[in-house]
Structures are given as structure tokens and as C-alpha cells.
A = this chain, B = another copy of it.
């Protein structure tokens, strides 16, 4: 038994919209433990849609349609499904009534074209739409086929799914075994290097472990099939613990954790504060830190020292060192870190200076060369050199530079004596 998601709409074939409905439904199916192997997108074309239904019924038993339920002539999902199964459409008075009420409420007049939305296949149940006008259906046209239809508007679809489809599916016995996942996030190690370290885990049957690459980072998804979240948790926990031990400091957090949130929690725990001095990231590091509501507890602010005059004037970087070593150097990164820490009176200071490109690189200082400076409680300073590669674009280099700075701080906070 498995489900297939079928999204209907020429706008997706033109690339006008992102198919977020498929992602929502995929997550929901996983949570209910309903296997799901295929997603199909097809335009508003009855012949092609029928072919898609033919294929889907040969490989899945639950068919979930989104889109094509509207009042305009190109909205054909419901009638095409009925036609495929050789069943007539019937007008349902309760739908007409519900629509009339909604139009009245909004002070609008129902147009004749809306009547089309009241036509559903004979024998189908109505899947009510509490917010919009187009209802969906739940229908078993054959013993081994269950059909759900939803409008394409995400907010309407989400509510209909949660209020009607989920209870229905649970009534059919689904949701007793769920798939529950956790992503472990790693910084400072490549996908293949991490994969080799944890290779034996990739063969586990339950939970399963699989790697995937994010921007500058790697994740491992641990997915368990179990009767409840708690039972899945019991399966995941020991594997999670072992992988964390193997990965050591390269592991930094789970799921929605970010390097900024993790470093922030460590600062919060120690009651310490942070300021930043940014050159190549130009404010991106501060933005990452302040993305987190409540970050004002430990993040006091910083200086965007894009021009050298600001490095000298506001951060106290030594002009002779700037001339001798260049703005992109370990020395300047350290002086920026110490300068901002001192002037803003924080426990820690981070400095970031580098060449984000695409121009400005030289043979000795190529695009992607970045120095992170870290100044600590006793004014001790350290610096770290990164080479993010000459083939990466400006926004990638800026993003991973800010992440690397947070990672430097995170590692320091975890390993200091």
C-alpha cells in the first residue's frame, strides 16, 4: 500500500510557482507512515492527466491530487478523474449552499461559473473547504483505489488536509506506524569524509541513516519507523549518540539548529556576550546572529568595517599592519576581533576579513581566502585561515565565512578549560 502525489497545473510546468504542496503532503504522509514513492506534476490537460492516473493506479493505492478544482475552464481535475473511472458528475446542493453563503459573507455575488465547483463524481464524499470555495473529494472508485482532491491554494489545502483527510486516514488505520526523522548537522567535514566515518550505519534497516549535503555543511538524516514518536525516539537515540561520538566537534546540532543558534545557546549558558567586526561578510554575520529572537541577551552588536578607514578609526586596527600584511590577513582579523570586543565591552569578539570575489583575488591571496579572528575574555586572540575555493561565488563565500566564524566560537566555547 502506498500513496502518489499528483499536482495538476500548467503554472508548474512553466516554472511560475514552486511546488510547495508536494513538500507539505510528503511530510504529512511520512508522519502518518504512509509509504510514498512517486510525485507527478502534469498540466491542465485531460488526456495527459488520464495517462498519469493510469500509471498511478498501477503503482499506488492512494492518489492525492492538488490543483485544477477552480471555477475556470482550464480547471479539469475532478471531471477528468470521474471520466477516467467512467462515473458521471452530479451537482451537490450542499456545496452550492456553502458557496452561496461564503460569497454573501464577503459581500460578493456568486458567478455562474462557480456552479461547476459543485459537480463531483457520483458516490464521492465531499471534503469540505473551510476557507475557500472549491471543495475536494474523498472517493473509492475501485476497491484498491482511494482518491483525495484538494485545491492548489496551499493555505486551503493545508487546512482541508488536517481537518478532514488526516482523521479519515487515521480511521483507515494509518498513523499507527509513523516515520519520524531527525537530521544531524555537521560543519567542518566534507560529505564523503563523514560518510566514510559512519559508513556501517548506512546499512541499518530501522532506523535508516542517509547523508545529504547542505550549503557548506553535511547532514545525516536518521529515520525510524515506529508506533509513536516516543518509540521512534527510542530507536533513534542510541544511533544518534554513537554518530555524535564518532563525529566529535564536527557535529553541531539537529534539525533547525543553526551555527548561530548553537553558539548563542552556549553564550547564554555561560552568561557571556559577543560582538563582531565584519569586512567581507558586510553585516551577514550580525544578521545570522540576530535572526534569533532573544539574541540581544548575548549579542551586543558590531562594526561593519568595509573600508580600511573604518578598520582603523572604529576598530583600532594598526595602519602599519594594514599596509604591511594587507586587509585580508591573520593579523588584521585578530586586531578586528580584539578591537570590537574592547570597544563594545563584550566577552568575545569575532573578526572576519576575506576575499569574497568575483574580483580582488591575486595569486597569493585568491578569491575564497578568509581569515577569522577570535578574541576572548582575557584579551587573548587567535586566527584561523580558510580557503573556500576560487570556483565558488560571492554569496556562497560570504555565507560560509559567517558560518565559519560562528563555528570557531562554538568550538572554542566547547573546548576551553
Q: A residues 99-122 with Cβ under 8 Å of B?
A: 102, 105-114
Set of chain B residues within 8 Å of A27, measured between Cβ atoms: 14-16
Q: Which of B113, B155, B193, B310 is within 8 Å of A195, CB to CB? A: B113
Set of chain B residues within 8 Å of A102, measured between Cβ atoms: 389, 391
A30 sits at the interface (CB 8 A): yes
The chain B residue with its CB closest to the CB of A282 is: B290
Q: Mark A313-329, 1 if CB is under 8 A from B, else 0.
A: 11000000000000000
The chain B residue with its CB closest to the CB of A159 is: B393
B343/A74 in contact, CB under 8 A: no
Measured CA separation A230–B56 after assembly (Å)? 41
Set of chain B residues within 8 Å of A80, measured between Cβ atoms: none
Q: A residues 22-55 with Cβ under 8 Å of B?
A: 22-30, 36-45, 48, 51-52, 55
Task: Give me 14 other A-B pairs in contact (C-beta within 8 A), A287-B287, A290-B398 excluded.
Answer: A10-B210, A11-B221, A15-B25, A16-B183, A37-B42, A74-B210, A102-B389, A105-B389, A130-B391, A283-B287, A283-B288, A284-B290, A287-B398, A301-B310
Measured CA separation A293–B397 after assembly (Å)? 12
Instruction: Please classify the interface of chain A as helix (H, G, I), strand (E, B), loop, or mixed, using the class held by over half of its residues.
Output: mixed
Measured CA separation A359–B12 after assembly (Å)? 36
A261 sits at the interface (CB 8 A): no
B301/A296 in contact, CB under 8 A: no
Set of chain B residues within 8 Å of A396, measured between Cβ atoms: 155
**If the complex has contacts A20-B18, A285-B283, A343-B314, are A296 and B302 also in contact, measured as CB distance less than 8 A?**
no
A196 sits at the interface (CB 8 A): yes
Measured CA separation A316–B110 after assembly (Å)? 41
Measured CA separation A52–B38 after assembly (Å)? 9
B48/A37 in contact, CB under 8 A: yes
A365 sits at the interface (CB 8 A): no
Set of chain B residues within 8 Å of A289, measured between Cβ atoms: 282-283
Q: A residues 160-211 with Cβ under 8 Å of B?
A: 179, 181, 183, 190-193, 195-196, 202, 210-211
Measured CA separation A344–B315 after assembly (Å)? 12
**If the complex has contacts A192-B114, A291-B394, are A213 and B70 also in contact, measured as CB distance less than 8 A?**
yes
